[in-house]
Structure 1
Amino acid sequence: MALCSVVSGGQNMNSAKDNLKERVLKLLDAEIDFVSNRSFNSPDFELETFKGLNFPKSAASNVSMQDKQSQNLSPHLARLCEAEVLSVDEERALFRRMNFLKFKANSLRSQLDPDFPDLEKINAIDLAMHESENIRNYIFRSNMRLVVSIIKKCVTPYITFEDLLSDGIWTLMKAVDKFDYDRGFRFSTYAYRAISNYAYRKIADRKKETMRFTQAPHDRVLEETRDSKRSMMGEQPWEEMSNVLTKTIEKLDQREQFIVRGRFALGNFRSIKTFQKLADELGISKERVRQLEQRAVAKLRSMVEDAKYDMLRELAGF
């Protein structure tokens, strides 16, 4: 019995050591992103930095339900926007604490040895990272209203509020990590530029994408010759089918509209585009264009009169 106890105890010790080693390896592999500061090396800095370490009082109670409704936000997003805006001193203190905690964790991590794991240092690193993450989240929540106000101004016919919101949130989180509190200006100034610049770039890209799907360059339009399907159907059935498609095509997504217009010579397309030509313009395979055309025609088929089904099937080739 005694021998079994010794063996069991030895196995438990080895297992605990293996677990500690695994924790060390994870810490060494993790990325700790922080903005360094010369004052971090001062022996009195930590004591001065953590005097009265309490987050500023939330202003959730000051935000009325009427204000939330006027913002037209979902309940989850409205809750994220409840934290009050930080003062200059509060903002500076929180950024200083957050970055120092990461600096401290990184310094302790450099002292770790996987073969001789130090539990005290491991726990100290985990605690510092946990506290810095709490501060980061608080700064993030305190600036969510800034994201919403910027995004609302950037909504256009080409892009929706929801499309821009996720990118705005991501940009805000990156801005929190990159902001240098010691440069003398407010975080809101830095974040505003980052979020608005990213939003404007996305709007421009989406506009180009939309124009690409809805218009074809004039010199390319005239390159294609008439497709045999049009001559086989005759002018009158073709024109009738074109009128039906024109009325319903707007209900398709942009890529499907582009393909249907190209395949059926609608809108700016003066002649029928081949699958390969459309594939080259969209940057996808010829087979994928064929699949998208079939999907689009299936949608159109459900929108038009029963009398038009046979024409759609004949036009699409199935």
Structure 2
Amino acid sequence: MGGVYPMVVKKASSSRAKPSQKPAKATSKSKKKAPAKAKTAPKPKPAAKAKKAAPKKVAAKKAVAKAPARKKAAPKKKAATKSAAAEKKAAPKKAAPKKAAAKKAAAKKAAKTKVASKAKAKKSAAKKSAPKPVEVEPEAKIPVDEEVDAAGDKTGEEGAEEDVEKVPSEDEQAEQYALDPKKREERSEKIKDLIKLAEDQGYLTFEDINETLPDDVISADEVGAYLALLKGMDIEIIESADVDRYKKKSAKKAATGRTKLDFFDDPIRMYLHQMGQVPLLTREQEVEICKRIEKAEIGVRTMFNLIGVAATKYLALVERLENSDERFDRIVIDKFVESREDYMGLLPRIKGEIDRGQKLLMKQYTDSAKRNATSQLKSRREKAMIKTRERLSKSFNKLHFKQKVIEQMAGEVDKTSQVFLQALRHQDVLLKRRTSKKRERDLSSNRKLMRELEHEFCIGRDEVKTFIQEMRLHMRQGQQARTEMVEANLRLVISIVKKYMNRGLSFLDLIQEGNTGLMKAVEKFEYRRGYKFSTYATWWIRQAATRAIADQARTIRIPVHMIETINKLLRVQKKLVQELGREPTPEEAAEEMDLPVERVRAVYKMAQQPISLQSPVGDGDDAHFGDFIEDKSAENPSEMTAYSMLKDRLRDVLDTLTERERAVLDYRFGLTDGYSRTLEEVGREFNVTRERIRQIEAKALRKLRHPTRMRKLEGFLEMR
């Protein structure tokens, strides 16, 4: 070691023999900056801790500490680059390792000396040719400002090299961290502690991060990465001064969240909220929507009637109507029919027109499909087919089927058309395959299916797709217009059905039934009569609600006419209570309603609400209502026990009699099977006369009345 120090000091003296102004400026800057750092840490701390805590706190609070640090570190990096280049050049020499070791030793000892001792050491090193090693005080920690001054006195390449050796670069730190599994584990544990702390208190402060992160995390990039990780986990990072304000804000958010949760848990509130977002309709808007519905219905009916398969559907429905397999009012529009008898009388004639038109249309389509026909002939045939379709459409309209029925048949035709279009696509796929026996078989069966469907539709392949698309478009437009009308009048349903609450159906069920009536009103509304839709829909909604209450409110269904009688009786009872000041008797209610008293009593019984035997009683679920109802068919346990004891005692007493006397008493009183026999029957059993049996019975009873035997049975005399 003695040979190393002269080399280091020699280099230092030679470097300081050439004075430079730059190191002096750097020293002054570092001295000026020292108080600023001291402000961030007012209490004197050890040098190592001050160096680590200050950059970490600044980076944690501002999350951006790259620019200032890198500007000042620029000269050091250049110096480090020069020193690295110098070391590479000096690598072949043997003295290089010794020089590097001497530099490191000199840097460590120079950092621990005081400022005054350093100055003396510099002067002596400049004068003496054989320099002595610098005196070092025993392991004394210097304040931050002195350490900065000591670092600032170093000049030239040696100072730069010492700085590079003292503060490793970010790459070196990352490499050291990657190679050290203990540090990796320590950092992951610290991050887990931060996450747990954030879960407990709902937020993190910059002070929490400073205190928890390891001391070796000092670079801005690392601190910024940890902050980004925490923010990516939706953890709030705030200043310590904002903690109270954040807690108040969180409490307010929690209250709002609970309110929103209650809102989403209540389906009625959600329904009313969504309903309120749809504006009401004016008279003009209602007319416009009704016109759209009418236009869509006409479009669906027209497109459906033009398809050849429509005739088959109409004929099948007419046949079911004739056979009474379908209800008349479900299929036919009543307002276009004067009497059902006249309509049913016209059905055979209309059915014949449709049948003849369908056959003619199929023949015309078959002729038009022939390829040897001229263009003029094809044109005439197409015109003839159009006329036939128009005649068929008029025959269809004479049936006056409801729009709902027509749309139902159109849906069935739509499904059939899907099969037809799928066969077309399959045909294209088969034609692209290589020629084979399987391909030819598939093509043959697919062509056969397509011919059958074409013959059924009576239109070409290209026309099928066009007709079906237009029919679907009209159906969608009509459904959209109906939905608009229904959604705009949902408030009307609420205002009507709320009067029918507490009658056996929940409010949501009443709303659903009212909406069903509203949809029926949309289907039947006629805007040309000049009334507003709400006037017409009110009756449908009211009728749907009352019918639902009558049909579904009770476990045991009551007829509608009896429901009306019950409601009338309840109104009369309420009126009499107000007049008399007490509950009326059945006679008074019968006189007021002009009904027999027995009828009123029956209505009172019918008005009672049934209760389930499994209904819980009290707060717990252990007791049920049925447990408190007396079962009259069940035997009393105490009586059963008494009878069992009586039977045993009686058997003991009877054992004191003779066998014949015991048997006679058994038969006469039915002690064994409960069936008592007459004297004659018992006499037949023993082949004796009735008189003899009577004598045996009397003798046996006298024996039983003896005090010794009576004493055993006198406790049971009160039993019946």
TM-score (norm 1): 0.45
Q: Which has the higher contact order (CA 8 A, sep 6+)?
A: 1
- Between structure 1 and structure 2, the one with the greater Rg is 2
TM-score (norm 2): 0.21
